[in-house]
A and B are shown apart, each in its own frame.
Chain A
Amino acid sequence: MTSETSVPVLVLGARSDIGLAIAHRFAAAEHPVILAARRAAELDADRSDIALRHGVEVTLAEFDVLDTAAMADFAAQLSPPPGIVISVVGAMGDQAESEASLDAATLVMRTNYEGPALILGHFAELMAGKGSGVIVGVSSVAGDRGRASNYVYGSAKAGFTAFLSGLRNRLAGKGVHVLTVKPGFVDTRMTEGMDLPQRLTAAPAEVAEAIFRAVARRRNEIYVRRIWALIMAVIRNIPEPIFKKTQL
C-alpha cells in the first residue's frame, strides 16, 4: 500500500442507500471504489456519478452473497485487490414469514450471517497474508438482543457481530483491522414507509461519515447514531424474566 487514500475500497451490497453513501464518502477522499452487487451492470449511472463527482476510478463487480462457491474466484479476480472491504449486504425479511417458512428464514440467516461472514473472512485471510487491510461489517443493533419482532434477522446479525469480533481478535497485531458497525434506525429503502423516530434515525450519509472516520481512527465497534450504544446497553441489561414480557 502506498498512501492511505490510494487504497481501493470494495463495497459489497453497493446498491443499498448506505452502500452508495459509503462509496461517495471514500471516493470524496480520493479512494478508487469497486461497487459489488447483484445485477451490477444496473449501477452504471452510480458508477459514472461517483467517478465524475470525485474524479476517481470506479468499477463494477457482479456479486451474490449467497453464491459461496464463487467467492474465492470473485476475490481473486479483483485487480488491484481492495485494501478496505466493506459489507453492507443484509435483508430484514419479514418476521412472520420467517416464522412460517423454513426457506424464508434460511434466506434471512444466510444473507445476514453466512454470506457476509464468509466473504469478509475470506478477504481477511488474503489481507493477513499481506499483513495489511481493513475489514468493515455492517451489522445491526438488532443483533444485540433477540426480540420477538425480528429475532430471525437479529440472530443472524448477532452471529455476524460475533464473527467480526472473533476475526478482530485473531488478526489484532497482524496488520488487519476489523470494524463492526451497528446502525440503529437508518432512513433507507429497507425502512421506507416505516414511522421512525427522527432523533434516533440516521441518514445514509451520516452512517457513511461515521464509518469513514472509524476506519481512519481504527475503531473496533461503533453505533450510529451514538445514542444507540446507550439504548442497547439498557436493553441488554433488562433481566430475562422481565424482558420476555416486554414488547420492544
Chain B
Amino acid sequence: MMHRQVLSGWGRYPQKHCMVSAPRDAQELAGLAGHGGVIARGNGRAYGDSAVGGAATLDMRRLNRMLSFDPDSGVLVAEAGVLLADIIDAFLPRGWFLQVTPGTKFVSLGGAIASDVHGKNHHRDGAFGSFVEWLDLMGPDGAVKRVSRRDNSQLFEWTLGGMGLTGIILRAALRLRPVQSAWIRQRTIVAENLRAAIDAFEGAQEATYSVAWIDCLASGAALGRSLVMLGEHAEADELPAAYRAAPLSSPLKRKRRVPFDAPAKALNRHTVRAFNALYWRKGCRGPAETLIDWDTYFYPLDAILGWNRIYGRRGFVQFQCVVPLDGAERSLAALLTETARAGQGSFLAVLKRLGAQESRFSFPMEGYTLALDFPANPTTLALLDRLDRITLEHGGRFYLAKDARLPARTFHAADPRAAEFVAMRQEASLDRAFASGQSNRLLL
C-alpha cells in the first residue's frame, strides 16, 4: 500500500512530497520493485535526499529480522532493516560489537552498506563493506541475486557505496568484532593548531580509533586547534574492579529528547563560539586518559533523540569532503580559513584520518575527511559553494550520505568514477528503475 508523505533526510532539508510504502516481506517488496524511479530507505539518517525516492520510496524498516549467527566466525545474517542499535543490543552482551560504526547507531544495515559508512577506525580497518561477506540484492523484476566478492562481484562492489542505486538490499551477512568489554579507553591529545592535529593523527596510526573535534571558529595561529581522541576496546582485566564482574554491560542512560523546533536564531555565531570555547577548555583540563562506555564513546549525539531539531524548522546541511593525504594540511587550512572567515559556526566539526581504500564508488580514500554542520540558510549555502570549490581545487571529493545540495557539475568534476557508475546503471537498465532525489539532481 502506498501513501503520500512529506519526506526529507536527517537534515530536514530539502523536503519533498513522495509516495511511500513500507512492505512487510520480500514478496510484497518484489511487487513494488518494478514501479520505476524507486529508492530504498533505511532509517533516514543520510542528511539530504539520498533516501527520498525519485517517484516512490520503499521504507525497509519492517524487514528487520536477524536470521542466523555463527559464533565461530562471528557472522550475522540479517535483513536490511535491522538497526545497528539492535545488533549491539543483541550481541554486545555476548561479547560482539560492530567492526565499523558511524557516529550514530540509529542507521539500518542496508543504509550502512549503501553508504559504505566509515568509522573512527577507517585508517586501520577500512569501511563497513569490508565486513560484508555477501548480500541479497533485489532487482527491478523482483528477482533476488546473492552477490559477494566471489559471485556477481561487480554488482557487489558497485552496491557498496552505491546509495541504493544498484537495487534493493534485502539481507546481508556481516562479520562482527569480538570484544571483551563494553568499555573504551580514551586518550585525548590537545592539538594547538592544525599541524599539531595532523601530527597527532599520523603518530597514532596504530590506535584502533581516532577522531578529532575541531574548533572551527579558531583562526590565525590557532587555526585548526583540536582535541584528538584515540580509543581502544578495553580488555576485561583493564577495567576497575567495580565493572570487572560484568564487563559487557554498561550503565543504562536516560535519553533526552528535543521537544520542539528551536527558533532559527538559537544557534548563531555567538552561541557556537561560546560552546566551542567551553568544550575546548573542558578538553584541555580533563584527564588525558579515561574509561568510557561504548554508547557515550561512539554515539554521543544519540543521547539526545531528535537533536536535528535544534537547527530550527529550516533544517540544516552538512558539508563533508575528503582531501588527499598529500597536501592535506594546506587543503584543510584553506577550508578552515574560509569557514572561520565566514564566521558561520558549526557545532559539529569533525576531522578523521581515512586509510587507503580501493572501491568502485565509496567515499573514502586515503587522506583527511572534514565534516561541518550548518543551519540551512542562504549565507551558509553560499559558504558551502565556496568550500566545494576549495575541495575541488585540492583534489578532494564529497560524501553522498551527507549531501543535500551539490550541483551535478561539481560532483562529477570531483569524482571521475561517477561516469562509470552512470554507464554501469544504464547498461544494466537500473537507471530508470532506481532513482532518488539525489541521483536525479546529480545525474547519477
Contacts and interface: CB of A to CB of B under 8 A. Distances in A.
B1 A193 contact: yes
Given A53-B86, A189-B24, A48 B65 contact: yes
Which range holds the interface residue count of chain B? 10 to 19
Contacts of A48: 65-68
A52 B66 contact: yes
Nearest to B63: A45
A55 interface: yes
A221 interface: no
B68 A53 contact: no
Which range holds the interface residue count of chain A? 10 to 19
A46 B67 CA distance: 8
A49 interface: yes
Interface string A188-219: 01001100000000000000000000000000
Interface in B61-111: 64-69, 76, 79, 86, 89-90, 94
A54 B90 CA distance: 7
A196 to B, nearest CB: 13
A192 B1 contact: yes
A193 B76 CA distance: 34
Interface in B43-75: 64-69
A52 B24 contact: no
A49 B66 contact: yes
Contacts of A45: 65, 67, 79
A46 B89 CA distance: 17
Contacts of B69: 52
Contacts of A53: 66, 86, 89-90
A49 B65 contact: yes
B120 to A, nearest CB: 27
A46 B1 contact: no
Nearest to A192: B1
Contacts of B64: 49
A30 to B, nearest CB: 12
Contacts of B79: 45
Interface string A24-60: 0000000000000000000001101100111100000
Contact of A46 (B65, B86, B94): B65
A17 to B, nearest CB: 9
A117 B66 CA distance: 34
A45 B27 CA distance: 14
Contacts of A49: 64-67
Nearest to B66: A52
A55 B65 CA distance: 14
A52 B90 contact: yes
B67 A55 contact: no
Contacts of B76: 52
A45 B64 CA distance: 10
B149 to A, nearest CB: 25
Contacts of B24: 189
7 contacts: A45-B67, A48-B65, A52-B76, A53-B86, A53-B89, A54-B90, A193-B3
Interface of B: 1, 3, 24, 64-69, 76, 79, 86, 89-90, 94
Given A48-B66, A49-B64, A49-B67, 6 more contacts: A48-B65, A52-B66, A52-B90, A53-B90, A54-B90, A193-B1
Interface of A: 45-46, 48-49, 52-55, 189, 192-193
Closest 5 CB pairs of A and B: A49-B65, A52-B66, A53-B90, A45-B65, A49-B66
